[in-house]
Amino acid sequence: MVAALVGERWNSVDVGVLAGGVDAGGRRLPSQAWMALRRLGWMVAPPGGVRVNDRVVRMVQEQAGRVLRSAAWRAEVTGGVLAAWPADPRKRTPGEWDQVRASIPGGEYLPSSVIKGRIRQVVTFVKVNGRLPVDVFELEGVPRIPRMLLLAACDRQQAIIERSDTDPGRALLRLQLPSRPDPRTYRDWTWVACPIRLPSTVPASAVLHLPTLRLTDGKVRADMAYTHAVPKAARTGHTVAVGVDWGLNTLLSAGALRLGKDGRITALGAGGQFRAAGVLAKQHRLRRHSEGLHAKADQYQRLIGGDERHHLVGKHAVIRDEIRHVSARRSNLNDALAWAAARWTVDQAIAARATVIYLEDLRSMEARGMGHSLNTRLSQQVRGKISDRMRHLAAEHGIAVVTVPARNTSKHCPQCLTPLQHRKAPDRPTTPGWKWAICPNQSCRWQGDRDHGAWRRIAARGLTHQGKTVTEKTSGAMVIRSVVDGLEAAAVVTPSTSKTSRRDRSKTGPTRRKPTRPAPRRRGAPSPTRPHGQAGKRPEGHAPTDRKLPRAAHRHQGVNTISTPTAGHRPRGAALGAGFHLHVHASPPRWETIPETPSDSGSLS
């Protein structure tokens, strides 16, 4: 029913009427999609011989209305790209970029990657058809409709959800479902009880809403929505902020700054990094594997043609199944990495007692001019997912997430705004490179990792420009859209002065004689009493010197490191303190003061 309704209204006229928000009589359309479609008179009937109630029709209209409303934005972007189509779309001049942005509503704030994606779609269409498409509806065609039930469009006569009084982690969903594939009368519908196990992240005081039911791999999944009170994030009035800089191998670099009453900005510690080079390498391996499978599947499809009895039909089906399997692995890996990076960043803000997180603008990470391999790696990053997860987790603690322009954040010194000199490494100050930055100003002479200097610049720029923070009407995200030169001049980080000891250390007597042979390393305390059970104890005497300590012993071991198992299997990643994956390493928060109360949302750092 949804596919029939969307296919009937998949055109620019109907989508424009729905996106306009006004009906034929000049009245404003309701925000609920199913009510808007009923106001416009867009109805749908069930197949012949099937009897459904009005609540099922509501779900159909709600899903179809959401699909049609989402097509309005894509139609505006595609129309702007087609209106400013240049002679050579692969080599646009700066003037042509300004022209295409001016032809798209809100195009001045649109990432270049979105526009380039639409350009690639149009170029592919031109190669196949030899002409430009008319609009996005000819370019994309009718979309596939997922198999789901939007219970949010129903009332208590169709679905009811209640939370258990004894166990807050359980809920009971009761809804009417047909007892046969083609219900003829209302007697063929019956109430079905669906017990749901809620995750631990759902607060006990949260109000549950009707979920969306999806069929995935033969199982019914419930996308549960809930409401609970959280502190309101403020746009201004911040004194402690966390700056976040994006990287390639070092995915995130973050640290905290404090704005004093006198207007000076100081750093709270050295900052930290979220390094996920191993996970990203696995992501790229899966991408290359997927590209090879797609190429092989396309070759088989060309060889098969329209012959359903071809001997390659079975192999083609196997490859299509493998493509879906690899795509699922890539999606799961990206989701896990996005949640881990977002959780680590929010934990840094909680530890520093910051009220705002300033993010580098994603438009600065445009994949161009860096070679084929590096451009692909940049375009495959999950920065959009990380920022969305970060806003979700930060909202639970009343922490604002603001996007800051990234102009010259890695180019200028955070302490004096002088253009930096980039070198290969700190011990190679004359070898050109990009990782290590040195300030040439003789009165400053700041040096450090390029990414650490960038997060200082981002946080300082956000603190000085917090009065310019605005909230986007479409997405609700907070952004700082432009840099003011007067405010930028004050966005400097004052270096912290090291405290010297005032105790008099003058020599007042002879030096104590030291023995020529040091005492052996012995235990400073007797062995503890033998515990009850199978566990042994370390004997008294010398410390063991016959074996070398493992590499994990020299690394920071946080509270998330598990104990050494006594069985045969040893989980390497967790035992080494490497987080949810063996090749993900997150720096612990090291600030001036760390609150004793940890985050109640869990940590994946």
State how far the alpha carbon of 154 is from the alpha carbons of 67, 149, 160, 224, in Å: 18, 10, 9, 15
* Whole-angstrom distance, CA of residue 145 vs CA of residue 2: 7
Question: Mean pLDDT score of the chain, rounded to an integer?
Answer: 82
Nearest to 96 by CA among 119, 76, 117: 119
**Residue 556: which pLDDT band, with cuts at 50, 70 and 90?**
very low
* HSE, side-chain direction, 13 A CA sphere, residue 11: 5
Residue-level pLDDT at 60: 94
Q: Residue 177 and residue 149: Cα distance in Å, rounded?
A: 11
Please report, as a single letter, which amino acid is at residue 585. H
Whether the Cβ atoms of residue 257 and residue 243 lie closer than 8 Å to each other: yes
H or E segment to which residue 368 belongs: none
Q: What is the pLDDT of residues 96-121, one digit of tens each?
A: 888 898 999 888 777 777 888 888 89
Residue 40 has pLDDT above 90, yes or no: yes
Q: CA 472, CA 466: separation in Å to the nearest integer? A: 15
Q: What domains, with CATH codes, occur in the chain?
A: 2-140 (no CATH), 150-227 (2.60.40), 240-488 (no CATH)
pLDDT score of 519: 59
> Buried b / exposed e across 104-118, counting CB within 10 Å, b at 16+?
beebeebebbebbeb
Total-model pTM? 0.71
Distance CA 229, CA 241 (A): 23
Does the pLDDT value for residue 4 go beyond 90? yes
**Tens-digit pLDDT profile for residues 129-160:** 999 999 999 998 899 888 899 999 999 999 99
In this prediction, residue 506 carries a pLDDT of 75
The pLDDT value given to residue 200: 87
CB 140 within 8 A of CB 6: no
